[in-house]
A = this chain, B = another copy of it.
Amino acid sequence: MLNVGRSQEEVRQHNLGTLLRHVHLGGAISRSELADRMGLNRSTIMALTAELTSAGLVREERPKDTGRAGRPSLVVRPDPRVYVLAFDVRVDLLVAARVGLGGEILDRREAVRRRAGADLDDVVDVLARFGRELRGKAGPGAVCAGVGAAYCGMIRPGDGMVRFGPNLGWVDQAFGTELGLRLGLPVLVGNEAHLGAVAEHQRGAGIGFQNLIYLHGDVGVGGGIIVGGKLLDGDGGYGCELGHMMVNPYNGRPCGCGSRGCLEAEVGEQALIDSAGRSGELEGRDGWYEVVKAADRGDAAARAAFHRIGDWLGIGVANLINLFNPGLVVFGGMLREVYPRAEAHVRERIAANVLPISRQARLDVSALGDDATLVGAAELAFSRLLENPVEALAEMRSYRPPSQELTGTTCRS
């Protein structure tokens, strides 16, 4: 915040959060290394680690023999008892995981689901059951520090309401609130592509980049954009909707949003099938993979379909590079398969349409693969802990779910 001052208490919280973030993202690290990276003196680092240790968030250990003379600096590592629950609602799959402080996926559950007709109760039932199982297996002394969920739609950040999820047919569904009631824990919900971008930025292809664009292919195309190290959210949290960038204003394909010629209409699942001349014959994710396999066998129509899609994808990416001057563009979800098969066409558009100075942006596929959105949900779950560690943990320990009467939502237990 530019207009507020900083107090001693705010500085303490910031420094605790920053130290914990180093340990969470970088793993075991010595006190002296922490002092270097954080630009603070050793006595300050010692006080911070002592506070995090007594809160049960980190442990300090004597390092193994370093072979050097002198007293070695203690090593700080995540306390293995601290974990979060992460959920991922994909078009075809429900995923739940227990993820430890430090980022390791410790346990997981998955359930395939039908695309159409899955209502809120069905989805929340499965996820809540998974959540209870994962917590039950967490062992004595384990502490849940947060819950995060990725959903393939537009999410209201305050309460995790799914405002618009056209691929599942959800409009204004109280997903975050319902899941929270069933779990008895507060739940943070984010758009899957936003969270995929966060995950790639912190733990994937985008480590070290301050400006990156993540394009997530599913039935449509979602986006997450990191600007100056932070996710672009916009006024309501609904930014990054790059899939609805109009790229084809003349005879564009119809889009799920009601418009025509949007990027996702031109490069999404159905566009590839139709462009390969397989409409009616193939459909859905399986049909889409048939076109991938045909292209890899050398089928001319399938290859041409990837080239046409690459051209539209290239226009979209070129526009984004001109707008964001990013260091990196990451193709995730189904676009991991599209990009390598359409790379020449994407790069041709970038060469033609991006201003020369911004052309140095690197293009790459997701490093986290199918787990990008799940990992992002876990990072969302950790986000409050990493802002204000001691207080956030105390809040989770003493959390009492709101009564059902007060929320005004139904809840089958």
Taking Cβ atoms with an 8 Å cutoff, the residues of A that contact B are 2-8, 11, 14-15, 18-19, 21-22, 37-40, 44, 154, 163-164, 210-211, 223, 225, 227-230, 232-242, 244-250, 257, 259, 262, 315, 318-319, 322-327, 352-358, 361
A-B contact pairs, 26 of them (CB 8 A): A2-B18, A3-B22, A3-B38, A4-B37, A5-B40, A8-B11, A11-B11, A164-B357, A210-B235, A223-B323, A227-B228, A234-B324, A234-B358, A236-B325, A238-B358, A239-B323, A239-B325, A239-B358, A241-B322, A242-B323, A245-B319, A245-B323, A246-B247, A248-B249, A250-B250, A259-B353
Indicate whether A37 sits within 8 Å of B3 (C-beta atoms), given known contacts A246-B353, A355-B154, A357-B238: yes
A327 to B325, CA, bound (A): 22
Contacts of A211 in B (CB 8 A): 234-235, 239
- Known contacts A225-B323, A235-B211, A236-B325; is A353 also within 8 Å of B244 by CB? yes
Contacts of A14 in B (CB 8 A): 5-6
Number of copies: 2
A242: which of B240, B242, B322 is its contact (CB, 8 Å)?
A: B322
Tell whether A246 pairs with B318 under 8 Å between CB atoms, given A235-B211, A323-B323.
yes
Q: In whole angstroms, what is the CA distance A164 to B359 when docked?
A: 13
Pairwise interchain contact A2-B21, C-beta atoms closer than 8 A: yes
The 4 nearest A-B residue pairs measured at CB: A234-B325, A5-B38, A239-B325, A5-B40
Q: Which residues of B contact A353 (CB under 8 A)?
A: 244, 246, 259, 262
Cβ contact of A323, chosen from B39, B44, B241, cutoff 8 A = B241
Inter-chain CA distance A4–B18, complex, in Å, is 7
Q: Which of B5, B22, B227 contacts A19 (CB 8 A)?
A: B5
- Residue from the list B11, B18, B257, B355 in contact with A238, Cβ < 8 A: B355
Cβ–Cβ contact A234 & B326, under 8 A: yes
Cβ contacts under 8 Å, A319 to chain B:
245-246, 319
Distance (whole angstroms) from the CB of A151 to the closest CB of chain B? 14
Task: Check B227 against A5 for contact (C-beta < 8 Å).
Answer: no
Known: A225-B323, A322-B244. A357 touches B2 (CB 8 A): no
A236 to B322 alpha-carbon distance, docked (Å) = 12
